[in-house]
Structure 1
Amino acid sequence: MIFAPTAPVTSRIVSSPLIAVPPLVVYAVLVAAHLPRLWATMSSPDLDTLREFLATSWGASAVWAQVIAWDLLIGAWMYRESRRLGLHPLLMGPLLVLTVVLSPFGFGLFLAVRAACDRPDRATTVVTGQ
């Protein structure tokens, strides 16, 4: 999405929701042995319990895998929207990096760019295809 934004293979990969499967597999492997503890931590959230969970190597790794999966899904959507809008790759590259590093800032900034660049009659175009 960043280094080969116009390559056909990039579009094929990014068009699939399977882009998030590798980090989700890592997540599943990490939490499989600790599912009861994970459930207890997430079902009744408490800051101290969450802090203890994140202090374990498997807990921090599992959360990191989940965040990467989310970043990939957001980044893929941003990439597809940028192609639809005709945004230049030199604009999107830094936005995608920012989204991977600091998701809320990169995503928020992209939403602002998207709002500024999108056509006001988009709803009609989506429905009619014209």
Structure 2
Amino acid sequence: MTGFLFELTFFLAAPVWLLMIFAPHLRVTERLAASPLTVLPILALWAVFAAPVLPELWAAVSSPDLDAFRDLTALANGAGALWAQVIAWDLLLGQWMYRESRRLSISPLLMAPVLLLTILLSPVGLPVFLTVRALRTTGKKEHPAPAPA
């Protein structure tokens, strides 16, 4: 059962990711990406994973220690809880990146690989996006709007 729930964690996030990457202009995509509620089902799975290993989880996060995290991830539910937390965080991060890209009119063709990179390796995807965002906003500052007459 734990294996199924582990896999389900990603599949709950996948539809939002697919919409942001492949259908960025749809109204449903914009509405979903604007809602933090998209992570609630994933957080529910986090709770299912975390409940049986709460003492180990609390020990690992309240007094961070490499051995405590190693022990936690050796437990199926511990690894599942950490996975669900990563999936939820990555989804919220991806939604913010999507919304920022829309606000700044960054091409969906550029954002698709950036979002895909974020799904797989958010610590790489986020700096790539921040660089694209900085270049986009710097470009806008170089060409100020004309003053009203």
| Category of TM-score, reference length = shorter chain | 0.7 to 0.9
Counterpart residue number, 1:33:
52
Is 1:46 the counterpart of 2:65? The answer is yes
Give the Cα separation in 1 of the matches to 2:72 and 2:52: 14
Counterpart residue number, 1:115:
134
Is 1:94 the counterpart of 2:113? The answer is yes
Listed as ranges, the gaps of 5+ residues in structure 2 are: 1-19, 143-149
Q: Percent identity?
A: 57
Give the Cα separation in 2 of the matches to 1:109 and 1:41: 30
Is 1:67 the counterpart of 2:70? The answer is no
Let me know the Cα RMSD of the aligned residues: 1.3
How far did 1:37 drift? 2.1
Give the Cα separation in 2 of the matches to 1:65 and 1:3: 24
Give the Cα separation in 2 of the matches to 1:87 and 1:45: 39
Listed as ranges, the gaps of 5+ residues in structure 1 are: 122-130
Give the Cα separation in 2 of the matches to 1:36 and 1:48: 15
Alignment coverage as a number of residue pairs: 121
Give the Cα separation in 2 of the matches to 1:37 and 1:61: 13
Give the Cα separation in 2 of the matches to 1:35 and 1:56: 11
Give the Cα separation in 2 of the matches to 1:89 and 1:40: 42
Counterpart residue number, 1:125:
none
How far did 1:70 drift? 0.5
- Retained in 1: the 8 A contact 2:56–2:68? no
Counterpart residue number, 2:41:
22
How far did 1:41 drift? 2.1
Match of 2:103 among 65, 84, 89: 84
Runs of 4+ in 1 over 2 A off after TM superposition: none
How far did 1:120 drift? 3.2
